Structure formats: C-alpha cells, structure tokens
Amino acid sequence: MSFETKRLKTGVEGLDLLLQGGIPEGFFVAVTGEPGCGKTIFSIHFINQGVEEGDKCIYVTTEESRESIIRQAFQFNMDFSKKVEENKLIIIDALMGRTDKWSLQSLDMETLVSKIIEAKKELGYGRARVVIDSLSAFWLDKPAMARRYSYYVKKVLSKWDFTILAVSQYA
C-alpha cells in the first residue's frame, strides 16, 4: 500500500524543494502574514504554475482589483490578461464595485463558493487550483467565524477537485 501524496508545484523552485515537490494535491493551505510580506506574489506564482501545467485556475481577489492582480503578475512576466482571454484563468473580483460576470455583489461565503463553482464549470473538468486572497475579508467583523468559514470552503470545494490556497493577514 502506497501513501505517497501527489504534489502541485508552487511556481517557486526553492519552496517546492523544501515542500518535497510542492503542495499536496487537494489540500487546503493557509498562507498568513503581515501586509506586504509577499502573500499575493506567492499566490500569483502558484496560479501561474497551475495554468502552465493545464490546471483549471481561479484567483479570487477581495482587497485589490482584478487589474491590480494582472499588473502584479505582469511584473514577473506572467501574462494573466492573455490567460483570462484564453479561458485558462478566471479572476473573481470581490471588491463589490463591479457588475460583470466574474464579480461578487456581496461579500458572503455562500456567494463566493457558488461563484467559484460556476467558474470551475466554465473552465471545465480536471484538476483545479483556487486562490482566495484574502479569506480574512470575510470575517473582519466576525473573527470567531474564521474556522467555520475555512471549514465550509474546504468541505464544499474539495468535492470539485480543488487545491485551495487561502490567504489571510494579520497586523
């Protein structure tokens, strides 16, 4: 009986080495830290690596605009705009100031998970990666709900073949 876990490369070579090949497929991984420490940059690399490997990739942004994520990726020679046009990546904007298909109108967990599932259906069958940057936006006024929200996201999305990178910050 083999207990070897398939791992997904993060897009950061040195980290993949430390993680024995990357993040375990199907896991919920929390990336936490102070503002400005590189959580978003790491998340962008994780998603880019997934697109390069043919994964279905979704990036949820709650604190920056979709355009900001695209600009940051471009600084690392990653053309997220092209990947979106080619339907290899969907960026869900949860700033609530937009009304397009891939924007959230309210910041609640059920709406978010439904939108992620809708995006996965749009991208098609297969292994998927999702980044939620940042999950802490959902519990700003209810910090006691952090564990419940994280569990809900993991429980529902694990049925859809997702590996989840959930960013949260503390000050």
Segment 14-45, tens digit of pLDDT: 999 999 999 999 999 999 999 999 999 999 99
Is the pTM of the predicted complex or chain greater than 0.85?
yes
How many other C-beta atoms lie within 10 A of the C-beta of residue 61? 24
pLDDT of residue 120: 97
Give the pLDDT of residue 1: 60
Average pLDDT over residues 109-114: 91
171 pLDDT higher than 80: no
| pLDDT value of residue 16 | 96
Q: Give the residue from 56, 87, 90 showing the smallest Cα distance to 70.
A: 90
CA distances from 166 to 3, 97, 100 (A): 25, 22, 24
Domains of the chain: 24-169 (3.40.50.300)
CA-to-CA distance for 52 and 71, rounded, in angstroms? 18
